[in-house]
Amino acid sequence: MKKTIFLLPLVAALSWECAAAAPLDAHASGARPGDASIDLPQPTCAKQPLATYLFALVGKGLSAPDGCGRSNAVVTQAFDTLLAEVPAKQAPSLKARLLTGPSAAGKPLSIEGRTWWLYSACQAHACGSTQLAALYDPADRHMVGRLILNCEVRWLGNPSDAQRAVLDARKPVNLEMVRRLSDCGGEP
């Protein structure tokens, strides 16, 4: 009986170790083919302010459905810096347009050993032709992303190959279909 009691904590500890190692399996981590990221536990927005919607973090006064959304000056600066790479002539009022469409709450991922938050945004009624998939690094206060604008892909913020692969896998886009179904701003 003493041996059984002694072994139970050991079995529990080994089980916990196995559960902690589970993300090495690509399917258990939520990774997709070509995606080198690992899903991290999803905190509540009450515990982690970045776990809310991008439009709430960077849009002044926009409320989020989670009830936690509040603007964040640091994330707003990173977002504005990212969008500044697109000439204003090519993207009039891009920020305002991107924040009008549907999105999901930020999702923490581990990419190349660093924590990044995955966000998306798109223009209402034009999500196919005007959309952003972005990664935000809170440690460096830096954002990278893939912008679809007028049915063309633009990489912003100098993302690494691994970050591009994560964005393509987690937020896939079919440009051929987008071009067939969307108003591409006069382009084919």
Q: What is the CATH number of the domain that holds 168?
A: 3.40.1420.10
Same domain, 93 and 14: no
Quick check: helix, strand or coil at residue 85?
coil
Same domain, 149 and 167: yes
Same domain, 85 and 143: yes
Distance (Å, whole) CA 57 – CA 71: 4
106 found inside a domain: yes
188 found inside a domain: no
Same domain, 15 and 45: no
66 found inside a domain: yes
Residue span of the structural domain in which 99 resides: 31-181
> Residue 137: enclosing H or E segment and its boundaries?
strand 130-137
186 found inside a domain: no
Residue 22: predicted pLDDT: 31
Cα–Cα nearest to 76, from 101, 55, 94: 55
pLDDT in tens, 67-91: 777 889 999 999 999 999 999 887 7
pTM flag (> 0.85): no
Same domain, 99 and 15: no
Same domain, 20 and 65: no
Distance from the Cα of residue 162 to its chain's centroid: 14
pLDDT in tens, 10-50: 333 333 333 333 333 333 444 455 677 899 999 988 889 89
Q: In terms of pLDDT, which residue wins out, 53 or 1? A: 53
**82 within 8 A of 134, measured Cβ to Cβ:** yes
Q: Name the domain count of the chain.
A: 2
pLDDT in tens, 135-164: 999 999 999 999 999 888 999 999 999 999
Q: In terms of pLDDT, which residue wins out, 166 or 14? A: 166
Cα–Cα nearest to 142, from 154, 165, 129, 160: 160
Same domain, 113 and 143: yes
Distance (Å, whole) CA 40 – CA 34: 18
Same domain, 116 and 94: yes
Could you tell me what percent of the chain has a pLDDT over 70?
76
Same domain, 97 and 161: yes
